[in-house]
Structure 1
């Protein structure tokens, strides 16, 4: 179990999920992603924009399946990982689960240069 500051990704987030669903409903039509978009629900790539929004609402009160995400990343041969969250917990897990895959957690503006360098390396 991860140490967390709240009951995120559990049934206790139902009211937040409802509010997010209302915001999604107000969007109307959405485009499909133009690059790979991974869902933390099951670690798969989502190619449909409407389905991506459904999964975002779903994940608010359901477990993050980072184990399945890492398996999907490994299957697709990712060459680097940049985490956009305040704590960097997922990069920490990836260092064990995706050994040898370079990663950067963007926890402050000071991390931008390392992320830029990783993206440049991965693109070449």
Structure 2
């Protein structure tokens, strides 16, 4: 039996129309969206189905929308390939996707996970509005060169590495002045800069005090030991202690995402096939840059 890992996407994977086909064809998916609407007091399915894109892309709504759409896609997979759940030995999610992974692994309930994700999105949106900032991908550059970009751009303002995604794709977060400088420097070093459509400098200390707000809401959520290992973005390791999991989720807001390290560790653990579960195919693309031979199946929202 092949060892399988489930991967869940993060913010940026959203698009108008996601989840609608699943809700129309799968009663279990429709039930998740109805439950989410009751919890949020807002018709999340209508927003996913018809937008507007500006509202769906806002951090406070995109995070719950991706979370629910990904879990709807998970229910679809449960019907189409039930045996793969017996083969799943680990799970991970990119940033926001870590919460989806925890719900899948039984560490959090759907209701608690959705409430925490909603407040996480609100806290991050507020922090972003307080400090004009952004994120930019540095493509086609090795990590030492990206570190040079950070050093040079820091003259203009605060800037940090936010995501270690895969070879040739590192994401920077910072003040807008520093991001503007980084864009120019990346080009000078023969890289390709791509601005990300996010509200602020996620996964850096510019997100304070979002971590404190998140800690407060997590304190009221029940977290149990996961039934299968859930790999943390902060240290690229799995954890079973609920206290440690809660602490790492708070730290994640200000800490860089170690995605490449996580994937390499899962491969070292013997994972032979991955499933990307949720909107988009970003994670499959990153996986191919890490190991072109490994299989990744997409279960789309």
Q: TM-score, normalised by structure 2?
A: 0.32
Residue 57 of structure 1 aligns to a residue whose secondary structure is helix
The alignment status of 1:13 with 2:196, answered yes or no, reads: no
The alignment status of 1:39 with 2:232, answered yes or no, reads: yes
Count of residue correspondences: 107
CA gap of 1:40–1:100, structure 2 versus 1, over 3 A, is same
- In the TM superposition, what is the alpha-carbon distance from 1:91 to its structure 2 partner? 2.6
Q: Which has the higher strand share?
A: 2
Aligned counterpart, 1:103? 296
Aligned counterpart, 2:286? 93
Structure 2 unaligned segments of length 5 or more: list them: 1-169, 172-193
1:112-123 alignment, distance < 5 Å: none
Aligned counterpart, 1:64? 257
Residue 82 of structure 1 aligns to a residue whose secondary structure is strand
Aligned counterpart, 1:80? 273
Aligned counterpart, 1:116? none
Residue 31 of structure 1 aligns to a residue whose secondary structure is coil
- How much is the aligned-residue C-alpha RMSD, in angstroms? 2.2
Q: TM-score, normalised by structure 1?
A: 0.72
- In the TM superposition, what is the alpha-carbon distance from 1:104 to its structure 2 partner? 4.1
Aligned counterpart, 2:93? none
CA gap of 1:71–1:16, structure 2 versus 1, over 3 A, is same
Contact 1:43 1:71 in 2 (8 A): no
Residue 246 of structure 2 aligns to a residue whose secondary structure is helix
CA gap of 1:84–1:41, structure 2 versus 1, over 3 A, is farther
Which structure has more RCO (C-alpha within 8 Å, separation ≥ 6)? 2
